[in-house]
Amino acid sequence: MPAASEGPRRIPWSATITLATALLAAACAQNPETIAPSPVDEARYRGFHCADLAGEMARLNRDLAVLSTEQHAKRVNDAVAWARLFYPAHSAWTRDIRPSIALDKGELDAIERTMARRCTGLRS
């Protein structure tokens, strides 16, 4: 039986800092450049002509740029919220666009592979 004078157990300061750091890192939005592409089968583009593939690639690049900008803004908002308020991450209340970024990257990879195989001389 513990002595009555021991009182409640305290968590060491270093453990508190480690826990806070881990929570901070886990709550921040991921950098869009580090999001891995989803696997996309090239067969999806079987009926596309080279011009169609180039148009689809341009559309995906535009879409990916918009999504990446949104993801970067989430990272900035998370950093500001944590630095100024030590408040839960902003990205926790906004839509998760990582799957959309991963899919766009995967589709771009599939189009690039398809174009490399079928559209030699057309890509710059």
**Segments making up each domain of the chain, as ranges:** 50-124
Please tell me the pTM assigned to this model. Answer: 0.67
Q: Answer for the pair 115, 122: CB distance below 8 angstroms, yes or no.
A: yes
Contact 78, 89 (CB under 8 A): yes
Tens of pLDDT, residues 48-77 = 999 999 999 999 999 999 999 999 888 887
User: HSE-up of 45 (CA within 13 Å, CB side)?
Assistant: 26
User: Cα 11 vs. chain centroid, distance in angstroms?
Assistant: 34
pLDDT per residue as tens digits for the range 7-58: 566 767 666 566 555 555 545 778 889 999 999 999 999 999 999 999 999 9
